[in-house]
Chain A
Amino acid sequence: MLGKTSMKYHINKSENYSLATIIPKQTPTVSALITVDVHDERTVADQSAQLMYGDAILSGTDKHTREEFLNAVNTLGATLSVNVGSGVVTFSLKSRKEHFGKLLSLFEAMMISPLFSKAELQRIRTTVHNELIESKEDSKSIAQENLLNTIYGFSDRKYTYPIEETIECVKTTQVRHIKALHSKVLSRNWTCSIAGNSTECEKLHKTVKRITNNFSCKDTTSIHQQKTPKQVAVLSNIPSRSNIDFSIGAPLPITLHHPDYVPLSLGLAVLGRWGGFSGRLMSTVRELEGLTYGIYAKLEGFSGTEQGYWRIITFFAPDKALQGLESTFREIKKLYNKGITKAELEKFKTIMNTSQVLLNDSIGGLLSDLHSYHYNGFSLDEMKEHKNRVNSLTLDEVNKAIKTYLNPNNLTISGAGPTKTVQKNIKDFIKSV
């Protein structure tokens, strides 16, 4: 389902950018997302520069100091933010429609002539340093990063270098490193999506065209290093936390465009659909056994050409950790050995269709959904086809995908939190799976 009838969708492609538009019937606001893939090869220097880029690009232009620039954006009541992670830079622009033109002018100035001063870089070094220190106790992120480091090699975008090594590297990151990253942003293909009226969409189109026309889009080689699955437990002891956060997962040798992707996503939804209570893990490990507040399973890390992984996200109190893991693996094994039922197939088809209907309740939700497909190389027809694919799935297709990809013996258990007292038990447990 491609949204409600009162909206128009369009994708305009050029050599340097691709622009997708949603034109709702009536809205007083405009939201736009611009995503650029800057990954070549993950290094600690690259990771450090990316950590600093978001603040650096918002720190003034040749015509504005940082203070003047922030003042100009905030006077509009607008949002201009930059998110950088795993070699992907996303700019988000949000404003009332009457201010969107001015916001775009500021965005253009920021992209064409950013200040990148030494003084600002010194401030950013300190800020990033302090954030990295604070992140040492972020057990949820640490559990996920440690899992991904067992799935991906050093040069992959999803690899995370250790905090201490990154802190050292941030100290030596110079203006030239940030400028080099910015040059990459300008010379790569831009994926742009906007929800707003046609005048504002056209304004974005012209701005993007002007910025990207100054640069020729370069072909690049991006390193992707997915490892073979490893049955291992990786545990980080963080005594200040009460629960142990777990990320349990394994690599998947397919991309978003692979025919098995949709059947596998339905199969995994039956195990632990993200959000809500409908997955088997929520019905058993949480509802019947009372072992955790939340437990979900999802496919992650996929992009147009890169393979992703599957991950179970949960947490347990230290004294319930072993029992929690046993219950979790019992459900995974049950799914792997017996597959899903015909009734579950039909039920989850309905669930997945409903989630598409619910997107229509929010323009922001529609934009985010469209942008995700757009960035991953889907045309509007392909997006429609990908969404409709769920309706034609057979039980055999789904269970075959589960059997091919969700082997419990391939899973890495990554835990972060007060693990000291249960380390041995968890390590023994993974050997017994």
Chain B
Amino acid sequence: MSKTTSAKAKNKTSVTGYTFIKSAGGVDEYQLKSNGLRVLYHNRPETGVVTTNVTYLVGARDEERGVTGVAHMLEHMLFKPTETDVKQGIKSGKSMQFERETGCILNANTWKDRTTYYFSYPKELLNEALQIEAERMNGVILNDKELKPEQGNVLSEFDMYNGDPHFALSVQMCSTAFHSHPYGHETIGYREDIEDYTPDKLEKFYRNYYRPDNAVMMVIGDIDKKTALEAVRKSFGDIKNPDTSIPRFTIREPKQEGVRRISIERESNTNIVSIGFKHEGFPTKDWFVTNIMLGILSTGPESILHRLLIDTGKASSVDGAIEPTSETNLGLLSVTLAEGQTHNEIESLVLNSFKALDAKTISPLLKKAKAGILTDEMFARQHSLRIAQELTEYVSSGQWEVYARTPEILKSITTKDILDSIKKNFEENNLTIGYFVGKN
């Protein structure tokens, strides 16, 4: 690169108060010099809409026993009033007020590795949205008055999930699969822990993890880069990090020896066999291979298990899912049994069918699965909210730039990769099998 070109490139990326980090796939990464907050920017012209999304690198994996679900509970509390709101007489909290007065889209979600808050709004509201996000980064009031009703809501949310046999079974399977790693508990936590939350427990978590150097802000939409970055600096630039370091657990899961099993019995007509397998973290190529492998086995009428179980009347549904977590997690392949089928028989049928799979069967299915996923990606990348949602998973893995390379990774997956993935993932020492047994 010549000196002139280099200077031009520097001018293009240089923004006051920021260090330019990198660009990939139309996304630019900057870091605020004052406090280390990282900012991802992506332009989508002519929509009139901006989505801002802040991801804190903290989730259920950072919780200790007895306070499971606290990351999620805290997420709820960030919609409560901040110290600034109280001074300004805003009882409901400014984020709620913002939604109630402007009609913007606002929400949040917590997962194993991260907690994410987002707004989608007409671009004129950029400064207001960012200011709200900045105020709740460290100013939320955590006391009994605010906590108690929200605790009731989270218990209601827990019951909503737990009433679903698939969810109830997956909770038990995760805790069976992981003896030590915190992925062994669900993000929402255990009901008993939720009932025992106190403001102090939440405060400790909030102070440890909600800080600029543990957050990534995304600005995606119809706004120019300079305006976006200046607005972020204006709202977040003065927030200080605590002097303490961010607590992190490094936990290695003990080796699994043999199949692990769990069953739930409940008054119900539903019967489920769920086959859990430990898969590689996101966004490794292995993760994408496993994801496509799972699609080939269980998604759509052409899939292996649809033909084997749905078309033959042995099951009413088949579902497969893996989560984009940064470390090894439990993927699930679940079969809802038709009347008259037994758990043992379906389990054997499914696992034996995998042993018979060969390149001739997999190759055409792989070609179609890749074509479908690449098309879905094209649709997803035309909507700022969906871009933010997808990019969030890459951010929480610590490798957001892989987002830009995903289509290439998908194209590189071969039939051998899929066959190897089936063999590796469904090997006995990698399995946790769950039965939901309905009792009438």
Contact = CB atoms under 8 A, between A and B. Distances in A.
A288 to B, nearest CB: 6
B315 A350 contact: no
Contacts of B373: 77
- Name which of B155, B338, B384, B438 has the most chain A CB atoms within 10 A of its CB: B338
Contact of A354 (B122, B157, B383, B385): B122
Contact of A350 (B102, B162, B317): B102
Given A31-B379, A361-B221, 13 more contacts: A4-B46, A75-B368, A77-B371, A77-B373, A276-B99, A291-B156, A293-B154, A316-B156, A347-B100, A358-B49, A360-B47, A361-B385, A362-B382
Given A134-B317, A278-B103, A25 B383 contact: no
Given A4-B48, A77-B372, A350-B103, A130 B315 contact: yes
Contact of A353 (B103, B163, B316, B338): B103
A29 B156 contact: no
Contacts of B316: 127, 130-131, 133-134
B99 A75 contact: no
A6 interface: yes
Given A29-B378, A291-B156, A354-B102, A137 B269 contact: yes
A131 to B, nearest CB: 6
Interface string A17-37: 000000001011101000000
Interface in B364-404: 364, 367-368, 370-375, 378-379, 382-386
Interface of A: 4-6, 25, 27-29, 31, 58, 67, 70-71, 74-79, 94-96, 123, 126-127, 129-131, 133-134, 136-137, 139, 239-243, 275-278, 283, 286-293, 315-317, 320, 347, 350-355, 357-358, 360-365, 417
Interface stretch (B52-60, B132-140, B144-152): B144-152
Given A77-B371, A292-B153, A361-B47, A352 B103 contact: yes
A96 B375 contact: yes
Contacts of A96: 375, 378
B153 A286 contact: yes
Contact of B266 (A129, A240, A278): A240
Given A130-B313, A290-B148, A357-B49, A29 B338 contact: no
A316 B157 CA distance: 10
Contacts of A283: 92, 100
Contacts of A67: 302
A350 B101 contact: yes
A95 B375 contact: yes
Contacts, number: 192
B300 interface: yes
Chain B: interface residue count, which band?
A: 35 or more
Contact of A4 (B47, B96, B302): B47
B383 A240 contact: no
A354 B121 contact: yes
A290 B152 contact: yes
Contacts of A131: 316-317
A358 B367 contact: no
B156 A293 contact: yes
B160 interface: yes
Given A28-B378, A240-B268, A351-B102, A361 B371 contact: no
B128 interface: no
B96 A277 contact: yes
Contacts of B195: none
Contacts of B155: 317
B92 A133 contact: no
A29 B267 contact: no
- Name which of B106, B156, B302, B338 has the most chain A CB atoms within 10 A of its CB: B156
B302 A287 contact: no
B159 A242 contact: yes
A179 B145 CA distance: 63
Nearest to A123: B311
Contacts of B382: 27, 29, 362-364
B375 A127 contact: no
- Name which of A78, A130, A288 has the most chain B CB atoms within 10 A of its CB: A130
A6 B221 CA distance: 16
A74 B368 CA distance: 5
A362 B386 CA distance: 9
A8 to B, nearest CB: 14
A320 to B, nearest CB: 8
B171 interface: no
Contact of B375 (A78, A276, A286): A78
A286 B155 CA distance: 12
A125 to B, nearest CB: 9
Contacts of B153: 286-287, 290, 292-293
A361 B163 contact: no
B64 interface: no
A278 B100 contact: yes
Contacts of B315: 130
Given A77-B371, A364-B379, A242 B101 contact: no
- Name which of A239, A290, A355, A364 has the most chain B CB atoms within 10 A of its CB: A290
